[in-house]
Amino acid sequence: MRRLRGYGSLVAVVVIAAGALLYTLVAGNKPLLGLDLQGGVSVVLKPKEAVDNATIDQAIAIIRQRIDALGVAEPEITRQGDNILIQIPGVKDKDRALDLVGQTAEMQFRPVLANIAVDPTATTTTTTTAAPTDQTTIAGETTTTTVASTTTTTAALVGGLPEGVCRTGLDAEQINKDGQAILPQCKSGVLVASYSVGPTALTGSSLDTARATLGDNGWTVNPVFKDGADGIGAFNSVAATCYAKATTCPTGQLAIVLDGRVLSAPMINQASFQADLIEISGNFTEREAKDLATALKYGALPVEFEMQQAQIVSATLGRDALHAGLIAGLVGLIAVALYMIAFYRVLGGLAVLKLAIEGALLWSVISWLGTNNGLALTLAGITGIIVSIGVSLDSNVVYYEHLKEDIVNGRSIRSATDHSFVSAFSTIVKADVASLIGAALLWWLTVGPVRGFAFYLGLSTALDLLTSWAYMRPVVRLATRSRLVGRSSLLGLPPEKVQERSRRERSTEGASR
């Protein structure tokens, strides 16, 4: 039993590595490729003025909503200091994504001049957008506009709205905030109504907050305006004109517009309102009510951003970069493996095995993080991993050289294995910790691709520490005590000095174990 002590960690680490790899394969985990390897869009937005954390978080939530509307899976939106980094890998319509992200939307309240019915029988002659899968009738707000009928294709509209307008949106000129415009109302990317609206009467900045509440008659939305002339005062003045069905507001409806789309166009039923007693009702489902409340609450981006950096990476270039990185890594790996084996023979082979174990663990961690945490592997990350091949083998070199030195000084191979590990490991720990400090600082203090690199370097260094202790010591011991390969020539070690050796064995046999 004594002979097996110390090999426990070796078995454990090999089992864990193999198990992790197996799990990764079975679970279908794969690393998430970063933008520069997959292609996509990346944008850095910087607020034009100083803002607090809550504002930035709000902005992130809104941007996320917008990007979700694009239908891309998992955009990555993160904060870096005061900047917002948005990465949308794999998006097909890159220019649109870029546009969408940067827009500072404004929420506008505009009087409705006319409702334009959608003609379901009119069809387009060119390609249409894909139909939504749910085709239920959407009950409109009965107190407000005309009921929208279902449409399964985009219909050519009276009023000249471009095709596929719910997908592409309108530009600032078409939205025409200070004049008249024709704006669509979209539900789930499908056009349900369009309105001719007048100039903007007030904006989202007049709103304080909004709620969705469940009352006796179903779900309603309660916007709360701010006090004062800019808030409830402005609302009341436009409400008055609409209630009276004045020429500026002949339909009596007030459209709530965001990003050039009409969210809702309720009829005004009173001449004036109190700030917190406004209710928008209709046959809202819970989802619709909550969505509208959220839009009212967060609708406009709370602060204006400027685009600091924008990148559109084409998928082909990304793929090429990935291939090159992988092949270069492989070639480097082979070159360095050959070198180690040539120099250290069997011990060199064991060093390469250590790399394999670290590789398995690294791959599993990256795949798991990629699938579950959205951590992306970029080219910088791949470089970090390739550099860590050197880090791992360095630990082996330090140990083996120590071994050689001890043997040249007269120790037997067996006693040298344990003795030199102690001082070699001390060196390895010092150096790896220094690396880890560097990686941690880099990660904490920098922005952009440097962070990815720091993470992967730090991860590989930590794995190196683990495997040096758990794998390298027991496996070398195994090798030196093995009858098969325990000879110095096979191990790449200098020959033992025989006379000293026997003297040494006799006097220190007990101590060396």
Partner 1 sequence: MSWLTRLNRGETRIDFIKWWRRGLILSAVLIVISLGSLFTRGLNLGIDFKGGVSYEVSMSNPSVSAARTALDGVGEGQAKIQIVGTDILRVQTAESTPEHTAEVRQTLGQVAGTDASNVSVSSVGASWGGDITRSAIRALIFFFIAILIYLSIRLELRMAIAAIVAVLHDVLISVGVYSVFQFEVTPGTVIAFLTILGYSIYDTIVVDDKIKENERLVGLSGRMTYSQMTSLSMNQVLLRSLNTTVVSLLPVISLLVVGAGIMGAVTLEEFSIALTVGLTVGAYSSIFVAAPVLVFLKERQAKFRAIRERLASQGVAVDRPAPVPSASDEDTPDAANAATEVSSARTATGVIPPRPRKKTRKR
Which 37-96 positions form the footprint of partner 1 (CB under 8 A)? Answer: 44, 46, 83, 94-95
Q: Which is nearer to partner 1, 42 or 367 (CB)?
A: 42
Task: Give the separation between CA 45 and CA 309, rounded to whole angstroms.
Answer: 7
Work out the number of other CB atoms within 10 angstroms of the CB of residue 190: 25
**Burial letters 365-379, b for 16+ CB under 10 A, else e:** bbbbbbbeeebbbbb
Q: Token digits for 41?
A: 């869009």
Task: Give the separation between CA 490 and CA 337, rounded to whole angstroms.
Answer: 16
One of 180, 237, 308, 482 touching partner 1 (CB under 8 A): 308
> Does 165 help bind partner 1 (rule: CB under 8 A)?
no
Task: Give the separation between CA 326 and CA 332, rounded to whole angstroms.
Answer: 10
Rounded least distance, CB 57 to partner 1, Å: 21
Q: Which is nearer to partner 1, 53 or 507 (CB)?
A: 507
One of 48, 323, 481, 513 touching partner 1 (CB under 8 A): 323
- Site pattern 188..227 for partner 1 (x: CB under 8 A): ----------------------------------------
8 A C-beta contact, residue 259 and residue 233 = no
> Does 172 help bind partner 1 (rule: CB under 8 A)?
no
One of 12, 22, 61, 441 touching partner 1 (CB under 8 A): 441
Q: Which is nearer to partner 1, 271 or 331 (CB)?
A: 331
**CA dist list (Å): 359 to 28, 270, 451:** 17, 70, 21
8 A C-beta contact, residue 213 and residue 222 = yes
8 A C-beta contact, residue 475 and residue 396 = no
Q: Which is nearer to partner 1, 27 or 441 (CB)?
A: 441
Q: Binders of partner 1 among 99-138, rule CB under 8 A?
A: 99
Q: Binders of partner 1 among 266-285, rule CB under 8 A?
A: none
Strands 32-33 and 376-377: parallel
Torsion of CA 286, 287, 290, 291, to 10 degrees: -150
Task: Give the separation between CA 357 and CA 470, rounded to whole angstroms.
Answer: 11
One of 434, 482, 498, 513 touching partner 1 (CB under 8 A): 434
Q: Binders of partner 1 among 324-353, rule CB under 8 A?
A: 324-325, 327-329, 331-333, 335-336, 339-340, 343
One of 291, 406, 464, 496 touching partner 1 (CB under 8 A): 406
> Does 373 help bind partner 1 (rule: CB under 8 A)?
no
One of 409, 482, 489, 498 touching partner 1 (CB under 8 A): 409
Query: Greatest CA span in the chain, whole angstroms?
Result: 114
Q: Binders of partner 1 among 456-495, rule CB under 8 A?
A: 457, 494
